Structure 1
Amino acid sequence: MTEYAEADEAQILPVVAVVGRPNVGKSTLVNRIIGRREAVVQDVPGVTRDRVSYDAVWNGRQFVVVDTGGWASDAKGLAAQIAEQAELAIASADAVLFVVDATVGTLDEDEAVVEVLRRSRKPVVLAANKVDDQRTEMEAASMWNLGLGEPYAVSALHGRGSGDLLDALLAVLPQAPREGEPVERGPRRVAIVGKPNVGKSSLLNKLARQQRVVVDNAAGTTVDPVDELVEVDGEVYRFIDTAGIRRRVKEASGHEYYASLRTHGAIERAELCIVVVDASEPLTEQDLRILSSVEEAGRALLIAFNKWDLTDEERRRYLEREMERDLVQFGWAGHVNISATTGRHVDRLGPAIREALDSWETRISTGKLNAFLGRIVASHPHPVRGGKQPRILFGTQAQAGPPTFVLFTSGQVEDGYLRFVERRLREEFGFKGTPVHVQVRAREKRKARA
């Protein structure tokens, strides 16, 4: 199956765009539909800034829900970009779920959204949200005046009326595979991670060749992870652009706290992480902590030194020293010097991604591995400690993704010797761009018979 066929398979599910003006409860309703707390929710307008996709199932039917930032007709600056994202979501959806606040009634902004919806000619289901009692139900009925058909009275917070709303949505959506039907494996998953404001969203926009993610100089513009199918060097990947990881999760507040947790979730979901580092600034503890998070999660790793256009000769010399001093434990990772804004060397990411993913999935046959281990034991045996010399008896690769090896030994092996074995594994078999895990199973001593 080609990459494009896989991408099409991933997009085969019908798509519902959830739109409305700011703070009407779109993200809360999305969480209610998908049945889990994923969309970032806070009682402040404008927490959702990009269009964010989630998989959902209702009555055995699968579909995709796209949460969007609040739509405002007179938006300027960052708000205008958010409005543009909402319009793009409408354009690419099969149906639209238009959310209004029943406790406030219809505003001019709602009327403006209705105009956009009419122009789109997409089927629209109207949700009158925040209907928690009988009185508000009367308010919801007044939403007929929007001319979009029956307003479905719901309480996203308490779940009231959500079943009827979902039934109405399924009625206007095209048929999709039933839950449980086999779906082909989609494109490889790549997460773009890094501390705030290092240029992650700019990099995704450059790769996607469109204004896909809201970009602003203010740190922390991206709050939700945003999935995007992007073709890089002839292959389609599913990119996850994530919120910048804050200094410590405990220090983040409100929606930033959930966004930080979600970033770590994005690392777990990915097969490869591109860690974006600001080359124009000294490396920080945050950068190293993020790199360690990727390694601990066992994901393939590529380091992108961004903002290379802002570095001079002196800064590059310092960076080289910082890499020798601070990044020595990540020497196995590939790195590319790029500028996301000018596009400098962004084309080098494709081959580096492919190499890292190939390494991540490499399998070494047991025969080859044991021939290699035999050579090591013969030329560099484990040092004698306390009159004992543990030996490697046998080795096997337990898994790929990342490559994990189990060594069966005659006794406990020192950490330093394990690091030596890992280094020699890399020299012999490559593994560029992937962590390599080596575990030991020491043979228990046989108890003497009484």
Structure 2
Amino acid sequence: MTDPNEPHGALGGAEYEEFMALAAEEGFDADEIAGDLDAAAAGPLPVLAVVGRPNVGKSTLVNRILGRREAVVEDRPGVTRDRVTYEAEWAGRRFKVVDTGGWEQDVLGIQASVAAQAEFAIEAADAVVLVVDATVGATDTDEAVVKLLRRSGKPVVLCANKVDGFSMEGEAAYLWSLGLGEPHPVSALHGRGTGDMLDAVLEVMPEAPRETFGTTLGGPRRIALIGRPNVGKSSLLNKVAGEDRVVVDATAGTTRDPVDELIDLGGTTWRFVDTAGIRRRVHLQDGADYYASLRTAAALEKAEAAIVLIDVTEPISVQDTRIITMAVDAGRALVIAYNKWDQIDDERRFYLEREIEQELVQVQWAPRVNISARTGRHMEKLVPALETALAGWESRVPTGKLNSFLGEIVASNPHPVRGGKQPRILFGTQAGTRPPRFVLFASGFLEAGYRRFVERRLREEFGFEGTPIHVSVRVREKRGRKK
């Protein structure tokens, strides 16, 4: 039974008791609601990296873990994917799965890029699954990856893939030679053994995120500088630092990024996490995008807020919007800095505003700063924008005030009738911050469009400038139904 003295989410004490009484009155189960609040307040999920050389069935395993075909299956390394991080669940526990692509040594002369890919994928993870083809055995490439894993100190689960039957399990036993402990025989294609392997993953995966921001008093706020290649991330860092701290390397994947820099800006010390150093090369265009995604994900894992740089001299690209989406999905406070503002004329400014209206409509809540990293224009405006975004990221609405607001929404803008029924929001609470997480309790399923309407009204009423908002809905079971 739920302990009323134990805080759940952002609630505790009298407010929690009042909320639970309201929930019981509406027919919700107390223990289930407590679980919902804890889940909503849990923050970032633990991260599992799935690594391995090409053709070992790694992407097939990712799809098996997800329970759906989402990861792109390709034989060649460095394939660009729209997203490299997915949410998964096993045995009631949620976590993120990072698909790292295939590795190969000495391919196209980019050993450094391959090593960088491995390091960033592992750095961003709480645990790693190394996938090895049991029908081939341990190769030199597998052993090179094992060395990286040992240096990382991260827990590793060894997956011996392509073990399609009991007769093949002897082949998996040979992989003890890698020194990573017991090889788990798996057939990612057919699902054989994947459950046992995931049980082993959960044993080494932390229950909570590696870091819980804000629990320690003091210390600089962590800010990620992210953006596609050549938008001026290094120039911005050097300008705010007042010196050349970042060397821009023209070779993709050779700079050890992200790097942390303590910066004094606006009378405050900040910790900037830089992701500069990626440059597009003609024969590595797909791979460069993929490595950029890894670096961006690694920077976001370390940050509380993200400054996304956009080059205003070029049209806003799919890559720009993808990076912004990564920051939003990671739940970070967000500031958009439009760089190279000193290089555009009135005509380009006109088209840029149209592009912003069309391409970035979903992040109109993010503070905007027009800057020039080269000349230092408007650098002083970065600090108030960051402070605003972080304040929104940490803000909270009292439960009583929130429910008064929800009551007004239900009265003035009820959910559309669907199938002869009209679901309505019964009550809600803010279960967490950083970013703000709301749980709404409803009499029926709320359509995505209505959820977006509620989020928009929340912003209009309470601000939340510069932060994503997570809204989840708990639907009441039919009255009279036994648990």
- Give the TM-score taking structure 2 as reference length: 0.53
Which residue of the other structure, out of 338, 347, 356, is the alignment partner of 2:389? 356
Instruction: Report the equivalent of 1:297.
Output: 330
Task: Quote the Cα distance in structure 1 between the aligned partners of 2:415 and 2:277.
Answer: 44
Per the TM alignment, residue 376 of structure 1 is displaced from its structure 2 partner at its CA by 1.1
Which residue of the other structure, out of 269, 286, 295, is the alignment partner of 1:251? 286
Per the TM alignment, residue 251 of structure 1 is displaced from its structure 2 partner at its CA by 2.6
Per the TM alignment, residue 282 of structure 1 is displaced from its structure 2 partner at its CA by 0.5
Q: Does 1:403 align with 2:436?
A: yes
Instruction: Report the equivalent of 2:362.
Output: 329
Which residue of the other structure, out of 378, 390, 407, is the alignment partner of 1:374? 407
**Distance of aligned partners of 1:257 and 1:379 in 2 relative to their CA distance in 1, 3 Å threshold:** closer
Could you tell me whether the CA contact under 8 Å between 1:223 and 1:243 is conserved in 2?
no
Instruction: Report the equivalent of 1:214.
Output: 247
Deviation per residue, 1:276-306 (Å, 9 max, x gap): 0000111111001001111111111111000
Q: Does 1:310 align with 2:371?
A: no
Which residue of the other structure, out of 200, 204, 214, is the alignment partner of 2:233? 200
Task: Quote the Cα distance in structure 2 between the aligned partners of 1:388 and 1:335.
Answer: 42
Task: Quote the Cα distance in structure 2 between the aligned partners of 1:285 and 1:333.
Answer: 18
Task: Quote the Cα distance in structure 1 between the aligned partners of 2:278 and 2:326.
Answer: 11
Within 5 Å, give how 1:31-70 maps onto structure 2: none
Deviation per residue, 1:8-67 (Å, 9 max, x gap): xxxxxxxxxxxxxxxxxxxxxxxxxxxxxxxxx97569x99xxxxxx9xxxxxxxxxxxx
Instruction: Report the equivalent of 1:234.
Output: 267
Q: Does 1:224 align with 2:257?
A: yes
Instruction: Report the equivalent of 1:426.
Output: 459
Per the TM alignment, residue 263 of structure 1 is displaced from its structure 2 partner at its CA by 2.5
Deviation per residue, 1:122-162 (Å, 9 max, x gap): xxxxxxxxxxxxxxxxxxxxxxxxxxxxxxxxxx98999xx
Which residue of the other structure, out of 415, 440, 448, is the alignment partner of 2:448? 415
Superposition RMSD in Å: 3.3
Deviation per residue, 1:331-368 (Å, 9 max, x gap): 11111110001001111101000000000000111111
Q: Tell me the amino acid that sits aligned with residue 393 of structure 1.
A: L
Per the TM alignment, residue 377 of structure 1 is displaced from its structure 2 partner at its CA by 1.1
**Distance of aligned partners of 1:203 and 1:411 in 2 relative to their CA distance in 1, 3 Å threshold:** same
The alignment-based identity, stated in percent, is 62
Moved over 6 A (4+): 156-160, 216-221, 244-247
Instruction: Report the equivalent of 1:277.
Output: 310
- Give the TM-score taking structure 1 as reference length: 0.57
Could you tell me whether the CA contact under 8 Å between 2:262 and 2:271 is conserved in 1?
yes
Could you tell me whether the CA contact under 8 Å between 1:396 and 1:405 is conserved in 2?
yes
Q: Does 1:264 align with 2:297?
A: yes
Instruction: Report the equivalent of 1:287.
Output: 320
Could you tell me whether the CA contact under 8 Å between 2:273 and 2:302 is conserved in 1?
no
Task: Quote the Cα distance in structure 2 between the aligned partners of 1:313 and 1:158.
Answer: 52
**Distance of aligned partners of 1:446 and 1:326 in 2 relative to their CA distance in 1, 3 Å threshold:** same
Could you tell me whether the CA contact under 8 Å between 1:194 and 1:200 is conserved in 2?
yes
Task: Quote the Cα distance in structure 1 between the aligned partners of 2:352 and 2:469.
Answer: 26
**Distance of aligned partners of 1:219 and 1:44 in 2 relative to their CA distance in 1, 3 Å threshold:** closer
Could you tell me whether the CA contact under 8 Å between 1:197 and 1:218 is conserved in 2?
no
Q: Tell me the amino acid that sits aligned with residue 404 of structure 1.
A: R
Within 5 Å, give how 1:75-224 maps onto structure 2: 185-215=218-248, 223-224=256-257
Task: Quote the Cα distance in structure 2 between the aligned partners of 1:431 and 1:366.
Answer: 16
Task: Quote the Cα distance in structure 2 between the aligned partners of 1:356 and 1:364.
Answer: 16
Highest relative contact order (Cα 8 Å, sep 6+), 1 or 2? Answer: 2
Larger of the two Rg values belongs to structure: 1
Could you tell me whether the CA contact under 8 Å between 2:250 and 2:279 is conserved in 1?
no
| Structure 1 stretches lacking a partner, 5+ long | 1-40, 49-54, 56-155, 161-181
Per the TM alignment, residue 185 of structure 1 is displaced from its structure 2 partner at its CA by 4.8
Task: Quote the Cα distance in structure 1 between the aligned partners of 2:272 and 2:456.
Answer: 31
Could you tell me whether the CA contact under 8 Å between 2:394 and 2:435 is conserved in 1?
yes
Could you tell me whether the CA contact under 8 Å between 1:277 and 1:306 is conserved in 2?
yes
Could you tell me whether the CA contact under 8 Å between 2:227 and 2:323 is conserved in 1?
yes
Q: How many positions carry a matched residue from both structures? A: 280
Instruction: Report the equivalent of 1:144.
Output: none
Could you tell me whether the CA contact under 8 Å between 1:198 and 1:306 is conserved in 2?
yes
**Distance of aligned partners of 1:448 and 1:245 in 2 relative to their CA distance in 1, 3 Å threshold:** same
Could you tell me whether the CA contact under 8 Å between 1:306 and 1:338 is conserved in 2?
yes
**Distance of aligned partners of 1:445 and 1:284 in 2 relative to their CA distance in 1, 3 Å threshold:** same
Q: Tell me the amino acid that sits aligned with residue 236 of structure 1.
A: T
Per the TM alignment, residue 209 of structure 1 is displaced from its structure 2 partner at its CA by 1.1
Per the TM alignment, residue 383 of structure 1 is displaced from its structure 2 partner at its CA by 1.6
SS at structure 1 position matched to 2:229: coil
| Structure 2 stretches lacking a partner, 5+ long | 1-104, 117-122, 124-146, 152-214
**Distance of aligned partners of 1:221 and 1:232 in 2 relative to their CA distance in 1, 3 Å threshold:** farther
**Distance of aligned partners of 1:293 and 1:158 in 2 relative to their CA distance in 1, 3 Å threshold:** closer
Could you tell me whether the CA contact under 8 Å between 2:250 and 2:278 is conserved in 1?
no
Task: Quote the Cα distance in structure 2 between the aligned partners of 1:275 and 1:385.
Answer: 40
